[in-house]
Amino acid sequence: MANTATRSDAAPQPGDSYVQSFARGLEVIRSFSAAAPEQTLSEVAARSGLTRAGARRILLTLQTLGYVQSDGKLFRLTPRILDLGFAYLSSMPIWNLAEPVMEALATRTGESCSAAVLDAQEIVYVIRVHTHKILSLNLGVGSRLPAYCTSMGRLLLAGLPDAEVEARLRASELKARTRHTLTGIDELMREIRRAREQGWCLVNQELEEGLLSMAAPVYGKGGEVVAALNISGQANRTDPEQMLRAMLPALREAAQTITQLLRASGAR
Amino acid sequence: MANTATRSDAAPQPGDSYVQSFARGLEVIRSFSAAAPEQTLSEVAARSGLTRAGARRILLTLQTLGYVQSDGKLFRLTPRILDLGFAYLSSMPIWNLAEPVMEALATRTGESCSAAVLDAQEIVYVIRVHTHKILSLNLGVGSRLPAYCTSMGRLLLAGLPDAEVEARLRASELKARTRHTLTGIDELMREIRRAREQGWCLVNQELEEGLLSMAAPVYGKGGEVVAALNISGQANRTDPEQMLRAMLPALREAAQTITQLLRASGAR
């Protein structure tokens, strides 16, 4: 294993020490969270599945590189970590184009508005435009939700071939998050096909009681779905029919504007 | 070198292959940007200072781990990268506490509002609350600016001892970004000491022509400055005196509220 680290032209394999050190480093970064903002060496080891010696080596490496700081006992991430996510966001021209359109949409509708992309069975938030209404979910950029029970998720899945959609649903833990959540493959496939046909998707309290959400697709140059845009609302202030009538045209228009801006910019 | 990779209990050194593979991987991630959203192997190698073989090894490793995707020729980052920044943001309870306070501040003042922390000679944006006025600077979370010519930067520097402030100024490239920018160590030290004494800082068009900015500090449990909050405005809509009169009390109040929330939460 020590040997492969010197053969820098070889394609890396999962068991490769080069891949492993990198993978472990990223796991250590991901072991920090709201529940574990500061961790001891032992806690990092336990959460990332490393030995104490291995965790120590990674933590000291991260500290050498400025991504972790420590008082000798407790370790903490530094803001330098944000550079990595920033590299992604700034490298995707779509997000700079989309943000002003989404702000206008949030102002026009008075509801929070987000954009997300698909990663395996989950959606990842890439833009959040808040209104000043308090939502029970605090979902910042980078946060994740399962695709099967969210409007953006179903719409993003709808951009894939049926066989792929079904494979991803089978790989998901389909649990009833509320009494409304659909959890059967057949009924989910039906909803996803419907989203594909009509070009939008509404999910009524399947993620969380009281939460309504409506999504529309942003298309890339080749006609593929590259992102979803949504508006969320609260069931005690609006009902699905009212939401569709009042806000669906504005949502679809915003998604189309972003699609056109993308095309005009020549960006992907 | 290959040998040290197996001594997993040794403290890593900068020349260490374990540190190097990780550092190179992160450099490759950072080589992607708005100017280089998709790169060939050769471009990544050139931008990150690696050989083609080394860049290939890192790119394939990142691809194996799901952080990079490729059509065989062009490489692109995936949204999974956002998990890393999200680990930082969610591990710092201050940002969850601060966001609603900052949204209320932006609504009350009608101006954009941000929070930043210090990293060496730069400030790093951690929260941005936009209003719908267009600013010439598009500064998302994770973006950086030099500390010496920004209101948040001077205020964050003011939280350090004088000798440390001076060392960081000397390590900065002090250039006149506008005709108003202070670039002398002595005059910058004077401004930073004043910010420390008065507990706030205003910078008038030193970063960019037309841009005014005002900052106030958030303190940690030990009384140390942990973050700065700012409000920015445009010189053609407001002047410094008007900005101070109309918005400084609200800004300082918001910063104090966040300081108190931090203390009450027991979080750092």
Q: Assess whether pLDDT exceeds 90 at residue B195.
A: yes
Please classify residue B70 by burial: count the beta carbons closer than 10 Å to its beta carbon, then call 0-12 exposed, 13-18 middle and 19+ buried.
middle
Closest CA to A79 of B103, B224, B144, B30: B144
Architecture, CATH, for domain A92-265: 2-Layer Sandwich (3.30)
Distance CA B109, CA B68 (A): 41
Q: Assess whether pLDDT exceeds 70 at residue A63.
A: yes
CATH 1.10.10.10 fits A4-80, yes or no: yes
Residue contact A57–B140, C-beta within 8 A: no
Q: Assess whether pLDDT exceeds 50 at residue B3.
A: no
Residue contact B64–A1, C-beta within 8 A: no
Distance CA A137, CA A157 (A): 22
Which residue from B minimizes the CA distance to A116? B79
**CB contact A135 to B (< 8 Å):** no
Distance CA B124, CA A79 (A): 7
Residue contact B89–A65, C-beta within 8 A: no
Distance CA A214, CA A195 (A): 11
pLDDT digits (tens, 9 = 90+) for B71-94: 989 999 988 888 888 788 877 777
What are the domain boundaries of chain A? 4-80, 92-265
Distance from CA of B190 to the nearest CA of A (A): 28
Q: What is the mean pLDDT of residues A146-164?
A: 96
Fold: same for A4-80 and A92-265: no
Query: What is the ipTM for the molecules in this complex?
Result: 0.73
Q: Which one of A22, A41, A126 makes the best mutation probe of the B interface by having the most chain B beta carbons within 10 Å?
A: A22
Q: Which one of B3, B6, B7, B26 makes the best mutation probe of the A interface by having the most chain A beta carbons within 10 Å?
A: B26
The answer to whether A206 touches A182, Cβ cutoff 8 Å, is: yes
Nearest to B142 among A23, A85, A134 (CB): A85
CB pairs A-B closer than 8 Å: 230
Residue contact B91–A34, C-beta within 8 A: yes
CB contact set of B249 (below 8 Å; sequence gap of 6+): none
Distance CA A50, CA A207 (A): 34
| E-state strands within B142-248 | 144-146, 201-204, 211-219, 225-234
Check residue B85 and give its pLDDT: 82
Q: Which residue shows structure tokens 């992607």?
A: B32
CATH number of B4-82: 1.10.10.10
Residue A242 has phi, psi (to 5 degrees) of: -65, -40
**Share of chain A residues as helix, strand and coil, in percent rounded to the nearest 5:** 45, 20, 35
Distance CA B69, CA A179 (A): 38
Nearest to A33 among B78, B90, B103 (CB): B90
Residue contact A30–B92, C-beta within 8 A: no
Q: Highest mean pLDDT: which of A65-79, A177-191, B28-42, B233-247?
A: A177-191
